[in-house]
């Protein structure tokens, strides 16, 4: 199976700042990948490199295209939704659909209109008069109607309430995703998407700290909860990646631990992606 995204030694610097540092990765079809990192970690720079918006060193292929030299062809098959609206604010909603119908060979106006009927977006209103949530929904409708092979969501729910956030991801999963497409979600709020991810990429200071499937994370990392009075002894033995206290107990996050031995020490669980992320970020600081 050919990868939809192939990056080899991608780097990008702004003066002395290395926004991307020798990034190499592949994303196969049928994957939902979370790109996770704190603000300034390099997430947006990586996405801009993927879509040919900036220059870089290294080699990249996205949907078989070289992003910089074949950006026009690439963007016909790639959907991108940012946390800010990039739609033409002076157009009415129905005018935008007509515009897309005229310029994009893969645009299906009927698909967009069907999706918009599930929203409260008025067709005769100018885009600038819509709420942030409505603009995001409209952008999603237009994107889903182009039958793209790759959908990139760049902090798409920033500033939206919980109902809009839930609806957005539900719509993406039900109306877009299948085994031939991939979804790349850039976020620093991993908690709201970790339940839908197949893979995660942790990035910080332009470097990939971890790229693994959710299944691999469950095998590699373990959470152990023990009585607080045993913490000093077990801390020395187990050398946890991180720990915190709760209700008189200590919670250790461990990597590559012997789970059978841990059962005798306390309660073991699979840690959340957020817990693993925080631990790795602490180690990278």
Residues facing residue 207 across a β-bridge: 204
Mean pLDDT along residues 237-261: 91
Model confidence at 285, in pLDDT bands (50, 70, 90)?
very low
Mean pLDDT along residues 253-275: 91
What three-state secondary structure class fits 251?
strand
Mean pLDDT along residues 17-33: 95
**Axis-axis angle for helices 109-116, 132-144 (nearest 10):** 150
Q: How far apart are CA 100 and CA 115, in angstroms?
A: 15
The confidence score (pLDDT) of residue 281 equals 83
Mean pLDDT along residues 94-112: 89
The confidence score (pLDDT) of residue 3 equals 92
Handedness of CA 265, 267, 268, 271 (dihedral sign): negative
Q: How far apart are CA 12 and CA 58, in angstroms?
A: 9
Percent of the chain residues topping a pLDDT of 70? 97
157-212, pLDDT tens digit by residue? 776 777 777 877 888 888 778 888 899 999 877 888 888 999 999 999 999 999 99
Model confidence at 29, in pLDDT bands (50, 70, 90)?
very high
Tell me how far the alpha carbon of residue 151 is from its chain's centroid: 10
**To 5 degrees, how large is the angle CA 163–CA 184–CA 110?**
65
Q: How far apart are CA 98 and CA 92, in angstroms?
A: 10
Q: How far apart are CA 62 and CA 126, in angstroms?
A: 34
Structural domains of the chain ordered from first start: 5-205 (3.40.50.300), 219-284 (3.30.70)
Q: For residue 132, is pLDDT > 90?
A: no
Residues facing residue 60 across a β-bridge: 7
The confidence score (pLDDT) of residue 85 equals 66
Q: For residue 8, is pLDDT > 60?
A: yes
Number of C-alpha atoms within 13 angstroms, CB side, residue 280? 24
The confidence score (pLDDT) of residue 175 equals 78
């Amino acid at each position: 199976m050919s990868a939809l995204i192939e990056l080899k030694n991608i780097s990008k610097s702004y003066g002395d700042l290395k926004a991307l540092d020798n990034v190499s990765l592949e994303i196969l079809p049928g994957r939902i990948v979370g790109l996770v990192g704190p603000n300034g970690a390099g997430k947006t720079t990586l996405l801009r490199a993927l879509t040919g918006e900036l220059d870089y060193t290294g080699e990249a292929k996205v949907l078989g295209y070289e992003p910089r030299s074949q950006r026009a062809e690439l963007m016909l098959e790639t959907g991108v939704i940012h946390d800010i609206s990039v739609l033409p604010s002076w157009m009415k909603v129905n005018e935008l659909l007509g515009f897309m119908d005229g310029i994009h060979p893969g645009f299906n106006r009927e698909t967009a209109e069907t999706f918009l009927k599930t929203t409260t977006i008025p067709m005769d209103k100018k885009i600038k008069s819509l709420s942030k949530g409505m603009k995001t929904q409209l952008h999603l409708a237009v994107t889903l109607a182009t039958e793209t092979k790759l959908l990139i969501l760049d902090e798409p729910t920033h500033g939206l309430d919980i109902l809009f956030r839930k609806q957005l991801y539900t719509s993406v999963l039900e109306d877009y995703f299948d085994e031939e497409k991939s979804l790349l979600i850039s976020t620093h709020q991993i908690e709201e998407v970790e339940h839908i991810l197949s893979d995660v990429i942790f990035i910080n200071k332009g470097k990939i700290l971890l790229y693994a499937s959710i299944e691999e994370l469950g095998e590699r990392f373990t959470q152990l909860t023990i009585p607080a009075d045993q913490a000093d002894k077990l801390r020395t033995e187990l050398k946890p990646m991180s720990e915190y206290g709760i209700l008189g107990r200590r919670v250790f996050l461990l990597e590559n631990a012997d789970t059978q031995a841990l059962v005798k020490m306390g309660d073991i669980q699979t840690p959340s992606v957020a817990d693993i992320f925080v631990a790795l970020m602490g180690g990278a600081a």
